[in-house]
Amino acid sequence: MIKRFTISLLFTVLFVLPGFAQQDPQFSQHMFTKLYYNPGFAGANDAICGTLLYRNQWTGFGGEPKTAMLTADMPLDALHGGIGLSVHALDMLGAGNSLNIKANYAYRADLGNGRIGIGIGIGYLQESLNGGKLVYNDAGDQNIPTGTVSGGTYDLSLGLYYNTDDMYVGLSSSHLTANDLKYADITTKLARHYFLMAGYSYDINSTFTIKPAVMIKSDIVETQFDVNANLVVNSKYWIGGAYRFQDAIVAMVGIELMPNLKLGYSYDITTSKIKTYSSGTHEIVLGYCMNVAKVVKRQFHRNVRFL
């Protein structure tokens, strides 16, 4: 049996093995990553949109999570809705790595003053553990892999997303099949996650717009609540803050570098017990949207007066 662990191995055992498949990554700028949480969002912008995000969590901890993600979506009238793709890779979480690729489709329809999207996401989730990065005393322990081991399974998500010109609300769930994920002698069970998101845009005047938003995430065992607000100036700059209950205080800034190209940055000040070991969290997001030209169908009518 193992008698001592290095910080890296302890981090892996505590955070990776029991909870690696049960805790989806969190993002402070979640208002820009809606597709990752909710497949019903696909096509909601009526534009071809792409988003890149990188998050370095708990810097200075050692083996801290580093998350990279890409999302892209677009409306597709032929399918009466929108399609999207999300690719998320979690690198250097101790000795573990994760890859989640998901294709999304949303049927969209008019509802009241806005539109509703009913979405499904089908994907593949893979987790791996590099035993070569582990440091331990008992060489030859058969329970500890010495090389890289990995395993994967399919994944399923469902979501509802409703938006108008000035508000949105979404309800979704991921890992619906709650599959077992096995590799080497390690077995983890995917826990169903539930997400509730909502946001509002209010024009104070022609210069300033306030955009509050909330995100609630739960796997039934644990629930996390995030509330934030951004002040947008001249539709080009924004500054804001957020509070993630019992976890972090977040500062956010952003700028529209050029039409439809936005760059955002956030810094999390850790408030949980881990703050003793963490120097905070950095997150950067880059997003671009290209408007889709609507094809207007020409209609011809025969006038009986001119036969």
Q: Is 173's pLDDT higher than 50?
A: yes
Boundaries of every domain in the chain: 7-191+259-306
DSSP 295: P
Q: Identify which of 124, 121, 129 has the alpha carbon closest to the alpha carbon of residue 105.
A: 121
Over pLDDT 90: what percentage of the chain?
Answer: 60
What mean pLDDT do residues 200-209 have?
97
Instruction: Rank 58-62, 262-266, 274-278, 303-307 by mean pLDDT and report only the highest.
Output: 262-266
Q: What average pLDDT does range 160-178 have in this prediction? A: 96
Q: How far is CA 31 from CA 50, 98, 212, 259, 265, in A?
A: 14, 23, 10, 19, 13
Radius of gyration in angstroms for the set of CA atoms belonging to the chain, rounded to a whole number: 22
User: Token pair for residue 172?
Assistant: 């979704």
Q: What is the mean pLDDT of residues 17-21?
A: 36
Residues 266-280: what's their mean pLDDT? 86
When pLDDT is averaged across residues 41-47 and rounded to a whole number, the result is 96
Per-residue pLDDT, 227: 96
Counting runs of H as helices and runs of E as strands, what totals does the chain give? 2, 17
Are the C-beta atoms of 47 and 280 separated by less than 8 Å? no
How much is the mean pLDDT over the chain?
Answer: 84
- Write out the DSSP string of 174-240: E-TT--EEEETTEEEEPPPEEEEEEEE-EESSSSEEEEEEEEEEE-SS-EEEEEEEEEEETTTEEEE
Give tens-digit pLDDT for 64-115.
788 999 999 999 999 999 999 999 876 656 567 888 999 999 999 999 999 9
pLDDT grade for 147, boundaries at 50, 70 and 90: low
Min mean pLDDT across 30-34, 50-54, 151-155 is at 151-155
In whole angstroms, give the CA distance from residue 53 to residue 276: 26
Judged by average pLDDT, the poorest of 83-87, 235-239, 297-301 is 297-301
What is the SS3 assignment for 33? coil
